[in-house]
Copies of this chain bind each other. A is one copy, B any other.
Amino acid sequence: MSSERDDLGAALMDDLSFLLARATAISMSAGNRALTPFGLRVRSYSVLATCADGQRPTQRAIADYLRLDPSQVVALVDDLESRGFVQRTVGARDRRSKAISCTPAGREVFVGAREALKEAERTLHADLSPDERLALSALLPRLAFPTTSE
Protein backbone atom coordinates (compact mmCIF):
# COMPACT_ATOMS: atom_id res chain seq x y z
CA MET A 1 0.00 0.00 0.00
CA SER A 2 1.94 3.01 1.35
CA SER A 3 -0.34 5.51 -0.37
CA GLU A 4 -0.57 5.08 -4.11
CA ARG A 5 -1.65 8.67 -4.12
CA ASP A 6 1.70 10.41 -4.28
CA ASP A 7 3.53 7.94 -6.43
CA LEU A 8 1.63 7.76 -9.68
CA GLY A 9 0.03 9.99 -12.23
CA ALA A 10 1.04 13.46 -11.17
CA ALA A 11 -0.63 14.50 -14.38
CA LEU A 12 -3.95 13.19 -13.11
CA MET A 13 -3.89 14.77 -9.67
CA ASP A 14 -4.82 18.19 -11.01
CA ASP A 15 -7.38 16.70 -13.37
CA LEU A 16 -10.81 17.43 -11.94
CA SER A 17 -12.40 14.82 -14.24
CA PHE A 18 -10.19 12.08 -12.89
CA LEU A 19 -10.75 13.11 -9.29
CA LEU A 20 -14.49 13.29 -9.84
CA ALA A 21 -14.52 9.87 -11.47
CA ARG A 22 -12.52 8.26 -8.68
CA ALA A 23 -14.59 9.90 -5.95
CA THR A 24 -17.78 8.81 -7.69
CA ALA A 25 -16.59 5.23 -8.07
CA ILE A 26 -15.91 5.02 -4.34
CA SER A 27 -19.17 6.71 -3.48
CA MET A 28 -21.29 4.55 -5.79
CA SER A 29 -19.65 1.41 -4.56
CA ALA A 30 -20.43 2.31 -0.95
CA GLY A 31 -23.89 3.50 -1.92
CA ASN A 32 -24.82 0.32 -3.75
CA ARG A 33 -23.58 -1.71 -0.82
CA ALA A 34 -25.68 0.32 1.60
CA LEU A 35 -28.77 -0.03 -0.59
CA THR A 36 -28.53 -3.79 -1.11
CA PRO A 37 -30.75 -4.62 1.92
CA PHE A 38 -33.49 -2.52 0.33
CA GLY A 39 -33.29 -4.18 -3.05
CA LEU A 40 -32.26 -0.87 -4.56
CA ARG A 41 -29.23 0.47 -6.31
CA VAL A 42 -28.01 4.05 -6.50
CA ARG A 43 -29.73 4.37 -9.85
CA SER A 44 -33.15 3.08 -8.83
CA TYR A 45 -32.95 4.96 -5.54
CA SER A 46 -32.45 8.22 -7.38
CA VAL A 47 -35.54 7.58 -9.49
CA LEU A 48 -37.53 6.86 -6.35
CA ALA A 49 -36.21 10.07 -4.80
CA THR A 50 -37.68 12.18 -7.60
CA CYS A 51 -41.22 11.25 -6.55
CA ALA A 52 -40.80 10.30 -2.90
CA ASP A 53 -41.70 13.76 -1.64
CA GLY A 54 -45.11 13.59 -3.27
CA GLN A 55 -44.26 15.04 -6.66
CA ARG A 56 -45.46 13.38 -9.84
CA PRO A 57 -42.73 13.93 -12.41
CA THR A 58 -43.02 12.60 -15.94
CA GLN A 59 -40.46 10.08 -17.09
CA ARG A 60 -39.01 12.75 -19.33
CA ALA A 61 -38.51 15.08 -16.38
CA ILE A 62 -36.84 12.29 -14.46
CA ALA A 63 -34.57 11.54 -17.39
CA ASP A 64 -33.49 15.17 -17.65
CA TYR A 65 -32.95 15.56 -13.95
CA LEU A 66 -30.97 12.37 -13.49
CA ARG A 67 -29.24 12.85 -16.81
CA LEU A 68 -30.39 9.48 -18.10
CA ASP A 69 -31.71 8.50 -21.48
CA PRO A 70 -35.52 8.17 -21.44
CA SER A 71 -35.15 4.53 -22.42
CA GLN A 72 -33.17 3.87 -19.26
CA VAL A 73 -35.91 5.43 -17.18
CA VAL A 74 -38.38 2.98 -18.70
CA ALA A 75 -36.42 0.03 -17.34
CA LEU A 76 -35.90 1.63 -13.94
CA VAL A 77 -39.58 2.52 -13.55
CA ASP A 78 -40.54 -0.95 -14.77
CA ASP A 79 -38.47 -2.41 -11.98
CA LEU A 80 -39.77 -0.09 -9.28
CA GLU A 81 -43.35 -0.50 -10.48
CA SER A 82 -43.12 -4.31 -10.52
CA ARG A 83 -42.23 -4.16 -6.84
CA GLY A 84 -45.03 -1.77 -6.01
CA PHE A 85 -42.83 1.20 -5.16
CA VAL A 86 -44.10 3.57 -7.86
CA GLN A 87 -47.09 3.89 -10.18
CA ARG A 88 -47.51 5.13 -13.73
CA THR A 89 -50.49 7.38 -14.43
CA VAL A 90 -51.32 8.58 -17.91
CA GLY A 91 -51.10 12.35 -18.07
CA ALA A 92 -54.42 14.16 -17.94
CA ARG A 93 -53.60 17.04 -20.27
CA ASP A 94 -51.04 15.22 -22.36
CA ARG A 95 -51.94 11.58 -22.75
CA ARG A 96 -48.51 10.75 -24.15
CA SER A 97 -46.82 11.36 -20.84
CA LYS A 98 -46.85 9.22 -17.73
CA ALA A 99 -46.73 10.76 -14.30
CA ILE A 100 -44.69 8.72 -11.83
CA SER A 101 -45.99 8.66 -8.28
CA CYS A 102 -44.66 7.01 -5.18
CA THR A 103 -46.76 4.40 -3.33
CA PRO A 104 -46.82 4.15 0.46
CA ALA A 105 -44.59 1.09 0.14
CA GLY A 106 -42.22 3.08 -2.03
CA ARG A 107 -42.20 5.93 0.40
CA GLU A 108 -41.41 3.55 3.24
CA VAL A 109 -38.50 1.85 1.52
CA PHE A 110 -37.20 5.22 0.41
CA VAL A 111 -37.06 6.59 3.93
CA GLY A 112 -35.06 3.61 5.14
CA ALA A 113 -32.80 3.66 2.11
CA ARG A 114 -32.13 7.36 2.50
CA GLU A 115 -31.01 6.85 6.07
CA ALA A 116 -28.73 3.97 5.10
CA LEU A 117 -27.20 6.12 2.37
CA LYS A 118 -26.65 9.05 4.69
CA GLU A 119 -25.00 6.77 7.18
CA ALA A 120 -22.69 5.32 4.54
CA GLU A 121 -21.80 8.82 3.43
CA ARG A 122 -21.04 9.88 6.98
CA THR A 123 -18.64 6.98 7.34
CA LEU A 124 -17.00 7.67 4.02
CA HIS A 125 -16.51 11.37 4.69
CA ALA A 126 -15.72 11.09 8.35
CA ASP A 127 -12.40 12.83 7.90
CA LEU A 128 -13.92 15.93 6.34
CA SER A 129 -14.41 18.98 8.50
CA PRO A 130 -17.85 20.63 8.67
CA ASP A 131 -16.43 23.51 6.67
CA GLU A 132 -15.19 21.21 3.96
CA ARG A 133 -18.53 19.47 3.76
CA LEU A 134 -20.26 22.81 3.51
CA ALA A 135 -17.93 23.92 0.75
CA LEU A 136 -18.61 20.74 -1.19
CA SER A 137 -22.35 21.16 -0.80
CA ALA A 138 -21.99 24.56 -2.41
CA LEU A 139 -19.52 23.60 -5.12
CA LEU A 140 -20.75 20.25 -6.38
CA PRO A 141 -24.12 21.58 -7.55
CA ARG A 142 -22.17 24.00 -9.73
CA LEU A 143 -20.51 21.06 -11.45
CA ALA A 144 -23.61 18.86 -11.49
CA PHE A 145 -25.88 21.56 -12.93
CA PRO A 146 -23.66 23.79 -15.03
CA THR A 147 -25.13 26.84 -16.70
CA THR A 148 -23.12 25.89 -19.75
CA SER A 149 -25.43 23.70 -21.77
CA GLU A 150 -23.67 20.39 -21.62
Contacts and interface: CB of A to CB of B under 8 A. Distances in A.
Of the listed residues A26, A50, A143, the one surrounded by the most CB atoms of chain B closer than 10 A to its CB is A143
A6 B12 CA distance: 33
Nearest to A21: B24
A145 B125 CA distance: 11
Of the listed residues A17, A136, A146, the one surrounded by the most CB atoms of chain B closer than 10 A to its CB is A17
B121 A16 contact: yes
A127 interface: yes
A38 interface: no
A148 B123 contact: yes
Contacts of A142: 127-128, 132
Nearest to A43: B21
A137 interface: yes
Contacts of A140: 16, 19-20, 23
Nearest to A9: B50
